[in-house]
Amino acid sequence: MPDDDAQRSMLGRPLETCSLEPLTGYFRTGCCETDDGDHGSHTVCAQMTEEFLRFSKARGNDLSTPRPGFAGLRPGDRWCLCAARWGEAFAAGVAPPVVLAATHELAATIVPREALLAHGIDLDALN
């Protein structure tokens, strides 16, 4: 488990919870925490859209179909996405909105910080 003090958001503050229902995060703590074992860098807290869920399914990562232990995601749900997948969606023009206070600062080492900020739904938190 990562050191909570080292987990910072895109806003430079302690990382906030992304979602407890559905329970998300690489460690299933509800936060987009990461460490060296998280090879997918599940660091982007995104609010799901129908368009993104279709895109992800077409890319081989079906996040919307229920399976044992996983109810499936619906538009409006928040989920810790792999930063590279969010970047692919951004390049395709279907990137979902980002919760900056719950997105790990390390996401910006994989996708452009400006892109994440442009999709932020909590930009007022920057002030």
The DSSP code sequence of the chain is ---GGG-BBTTSSBPPP--BTTB-STTSSSS----TT-TT-EEEEEE--HHHHHHHHHTT---SS-BTTB----TT-EEEEEHHHHHHHHHTT-PPPB-GGGSBGGGGGTS-HHHHHHTBS-GGGG-
Range of the domain at 52: 4-126
CATH number assigned to the domain comprising residue 81:
3.30.56.110
Q: pLDDT digit string (tens) for 4-46? A: 557 999 999 999 999 999 999 999 999 999 999 999 999 999 9
**Number of folded domains in the chain?**
1
The confidence band for 69, taking pLDDT boundaries of 50, 70 and 90, is confident
What pLDDT score was predicted for residue 74? 97
Q: What is the pTM of this model?
A: 0.93
